[in-house]
A and B are shown apart, each in its own frame.
Chain A
Amino acid sequence: MAESQGMNLISPFVGSPALDHPDPEDGRRGTGTRDRLGAIDLCVTNLCYKPCRRVPSTLHAPSGSRHQMSFADQSMGLGLRALNRLAGLELIDRAGLRGPAERLVYRSTRNGFRAANAAGRSFKSVQGAGKVARQSTAKRSKSFDLTPTDEQQMMVEAFGDFASDRLRKAATEADAACSAPDDLLAQSAELGITMLGVPEELGGAVSERSAVTSVLISEALAGGDMGLAFAALAPAAVSTAIGLWGDADQQATYLPELTGEDVPAAALALLEPRPLFDPFELRTSARRTADGFVLDGIKSLVPRAADAELFIVAADLEGSGPALFVVEAKTDGVLTSPEPALGLRAASTCQLKLEGVELGSGTLLADGSPDAYADCVRLGRIAWCALTVGAAQAALDFLIPYVNDRKAFGEPISHRQAVAFNMSNIAIEIEGMRLATYRAASLADQGREFAREAAIARRLCATHGNRIGSDAVGLLGGHGYVKEYPVERWYRDLRSAGVMEGALLV
């Protein structure tokens, strides 16, 4: 490292910083592997899965006894309940109890709107105790610290293993099939994904707001595959929204299911299909009636919508602006139509059409509070940033061994500055994206303003995520363009991420 100084003009306003660093070789070395998957049947229209309906599980109100042992109360800290589930999952796998599951039909061709999951479960309306439960905001931190807690670190490792062992391997096929394997979704649910944004007394995993934890986990999952991570995390957006903004009855009705043994597919639908979409100018409308509301409109790129049993839909409530509504899939006038897209295909994205959907008065979240809605938009953007960071890092980890192994003109292409500098720029921008995302999430956890930070993280991730996807393909050349490698999928997924609104929450 002979070169490092240009003009030595510096005269810093400082003392001399630490010089006792053991070794500059601290690069984030990639561990990416080139998993060549076999030939894939791309003819998705020929796929025909038998419809498989889950048996509606017994509905139950939250029982106090189940939650008497609060880990947080025992100062065991964040996320232990979720970790516990993780351990259980491995046991189940070893015992071979999980059989191959069947999937719902998902056609990647547009075939018109159909009634949403009419066979889905009925959510029996349950009266809450009259008192809502909320996660508390995290204590304001006094010092700058980038170290995750021990629990967060353990969860990141566990989710990271799941991502690399399972998601990455299933990614190519799921992308082609526009469908995530049921067993993977079930395992994701068992990992406790839907519990993170839910208060402990309602079956959640943690007592404090933990957008940072959700960011770390989302990043880890997207490191396996962004589309599968999207599919897996979709129900968590709904449980988190109800945890954050639901009233006692809404919490009592839906959270036990969403955090239970058989987590339903569920989706948060904000995006609408039009250019220059602005989540604060919705065309989906909610008209007030004597008994409640009537919703009309179309939502776009709603994950697993054909399969979903529960939606949260953003609509413009007449007279008061955008608001969130809980919509059960069985409700009349709730229709879905496949909407396969450039990327994120494993999440079986659909358009969701609301045709004169009549809802009761108890379906409005947060009393239609504009602040809650704005937070929902912002938290969604942070979630997309987390996925972008995870996928971009996966691309970088994949590229490192590739450019070192690939030879041209008698030497590895990494020995050329045109290639090497491109790699440096990818690494620089990913770290900037990551830090901006963490900062926004951390401010949210601490109950501080985070609109600016969320916007900044989104701007960075949209711009650089897109470029990284494109550069990754470029660095592989023709290899980047064929489906033998995961790189063309990152190209597509990373483009989608900067466009998405809602659908995820941290």
Chain B
Amino acid sequence: MTINLEVPKKFVPLVGQAHQVAQEVLRPISRKYDLAEHEYPKELDMLAALIDGVDQGGGSSGAGAAGVSQAEANGDGGNRNGSNMASVLSIIEMCWGDVGLLLTMPRQGLGNSAIAAVADDEQKQRFAGKWAAMAITEPEAGSDSAAIRTTAVLDGDEYVLNGEKIYVTSGERAELVVVWASLDPKAGRAAIKSFVVERSNPGLKLDRLEHKLGIRASDTAAFILDDCRVPKEDLLGSPEIDTTKSFAGAMRTFDNTRPLVAAMAVGLSRACLEHTTEKLADAGVEIDYDRPANAQHAAAAELLELEADYEAARLLTLEAAWMADNSKPNSLHASYAKAKAGRTCVDISLRCIALCGSAGLGEDELLEKWARDAKILDIFEGTQQIQLLIIARQLLGLTSAQLK
């Protein structure tokens, strides 16, 4: 009815709940699992059960649960605030609490999104309620995921997978791992398929867990696939090698996850800003929104600048989610959000440290941890540079052969 960019009224309770969880459950154990890398945050089991319950009760409008498909036709053709919006709003709150802990929330893996996106109904039913991680990256294939070398060869009723996968979030903890492999390395990207592999499969060998700069609460696994035999009905989608669309279809999955990572960055940014605003207020510096920035304390002017970029990132994220809810193609806007939010959260966290001085660097506060956590958000789900490529190609109408 009119342009409005406020949080939808119906999601205000959801945001409140998520914030409460972040404050009461995540923040208190934030430092604990940053220090105890690779230790399972058992507190999350209770939380995950709670979220499952809330979701089954329909109280969260699709957020916080795996495998919801949405954006069904809206009867009256009017505006829709749906599960994409609910998801980014709740992620913002949860990541105000702790990004690493959110990433390791049981049954909320990227693999779950992939299953929901590509699986047929029978598969969806079979894998429902299971925690699924996602294994795409290889030592020789990072941003260029079409270059993966892991192979899948049909042998009777089973595919045999061989290769190496790294950077698998929740790879140790999940029950399923969705593995990308090629049916025919000569056939290029169209031959890349995803396979659901049980974590207990003896051919899926955990090689190591990474030691990381940040998000240490979330385990990051490396696997060796050594003649890993997978029932052929666990290939997601069609086994046909369709050169016209299949890889693009798989990549489109990520149009929908980029706003979610942007939301993580927005939540973390807000945590930094709130913390710094409070510390600066203690030091007698507050932003006056009416007075020109140049007429204020330099720290206030800098804080305003950071807050402005935060707000742009937040609004771009909400816009991308709103477009998805309303079945508007949002590939471009999803990348706007991811690019802006990713770089903004790194910038904000690092500059907030400078504003807070030694207290910003010290482990007594969480700011130094947030600055470490932040950087991954400008890397995974497509690095900053990949986002700029996606945007530029769409903006300029160029192919990947033209704009490399």
Residues of A whose CB lies within 8 Å of any CB of B are: 1-29, 138-139, 141-149, 212, 276-281, 374, 377-378, 400, 403-404, 412, 414-415, 417, 420-421, 423-425, 427-429, 431-433, 435-436, 438-439, 441-443, 445-446, 451-457, 459-460, 463
Least CB distance from A2 to B in Å reads 4
Of chain B, the residue at the smallest CB distance from A426 is B395
Are B260 and A6 touching (Cβ within 8 A)?
A: no
Residues of B within 8 A of A18 (CB): 69-71, 84, 256, 324-325, 327
Are A11 and B253 touching (Cβ within 8 A)?
A: no
- Given A6-B383, A17-B257, A459-B304, also A414-B388 (CB < 8 A): no
The contact sample of 22 A-B pairs, CB cut-off 8 A, is A4-B382, A5-B386, A7-B166, A14-B66, A15-B116, A16-B68, A16-B69, A18-B327, A21-B327, A21-B328, A26-B394, A27-B332, A145-B1, A146-B5, A279-B292, A414-B396, A417-B388, A421-B388, A428-B340, A432-B315, A438-B3, A459-B308
Residues of A within 8 A of B195 (CB): none
Are A19 and B4 touching (Cβ within 8 A)?
A: no
> Interface digits, B230-268 against A, CB 8 Å rule (1 contact, 0 not)?
000000000000000001100111111101110000000
Residues of B within 8 A of A146 (CB): 3, 5, 319, 322
- B30-38, B135-143, B351-359: which lies at the interface: B135-143
Of chain B, the residue at the smallest CB distance from A459 is B308
A145 to B321 Cα, complex, angstroms: 11
Are A278 and B117 touching (Cβ within 8 A)?
A: no
Are A377 and B290 touching (Cβ within 8 A)?
A: yes
Residues of B within 8 A of A9 (CB): 103, 167, 169, 215, 218, 220, 376, 380
- B104-112, B153-161, B196-204, B361-369: which lies at the interface: B104-112
Are B137 and A420 touching (Cβ within 8 A)?
A: no
User: Number of B residues contacting the other chain (C-beta, 8 Å)?
Assistant: 133
CB-contacts of B378-398 with A (<8 A): 379-383, 385-398
- Given A145-B4, A404-B396, A445-B2, also A17-B104 (CB < 8 A): no
Q: A14-B63, A21-B329 given; name 15 further pairs at CB < 8 Å.
A: A11-B102, A11-B108, A16-B116, A17-B84, A21-B252, A29-B397, A143-B9, A412-B402, A414-B396, A420-B403, A424-B387, A428-B339, A431-B336, A435-B319, A463-B308
- Given A3-B386, A6-B143, A6-B381, also A452-B289 (CB < 8 A): yes
Are A20 and B289 touching (Cβ within 8 A)?
A: no
Residues of B within 8 A of A28 (CB): 332, 395
Are B3 and A442 touching (Cβ within 8 A)?
A: yes
A441 to B90 Cα, complex, angstroms: 26
A435 to B66 Cα, complex, angstroms: 30
Are B396 and A400 touching (Cβ within 8 A)?
A: yes
A142 to B254 Cα, complex, angstroms: 29
Are B4 and A144 touching (Cβ within 8 A)?
A: yes
Are B293 and A459 touching (Cβ within 8 A)?
A: yes
Cβ 8 A contact of A13, one of B64, B253, B316, B325: B64
Whether B79 is near chain A, meaning CB under 8 Å from some CB there, is yes
A400 to B145 Cα, complex, angstroms: 29
Least CB distance from B48 to A in Å reads 10
- Given A4-B390, A404-B397, also A12-B252 (CB < 8 A): no
Least CB distance from A294 to B in Å reads 27
Are B394 and A25 touching (Cβ within 8 A)?
A: yes
Least CB distance from B145 to A in Å reads 5
Least CB distance from B72 to A in Å reads 9
Are B169 and A8 touching (Cβ within 8 A)?
A: yes
Least CB distance from A412 to B in Å reads 8
- Given A9-B215, A11-B169, A16-B112, also A143-B84 (CB < 8 A): no
Least CB distance from A435 to B in Å reads 4
- Given A18-B84, A145-B4, A432-B313, also A424-B388 (CB < 8 A): yes
Of chain A, the residue at the smallest CB distance from B79 is A145
Residues of B within 8 A of A16 (CB): 66-69, 112-117, 256
Are B108 and A13 touching (Cβ within 8 A)?
A: yes
Least CB distance from A191 to B in Å reads 21
Are A415 and B8 touching (Cβ within 8 A)?
A: no
Are A414 and B391 touching (Cβ within 8 A)?
A: no
Residues of B within 8 A of A415 (CB): 398, 402-404
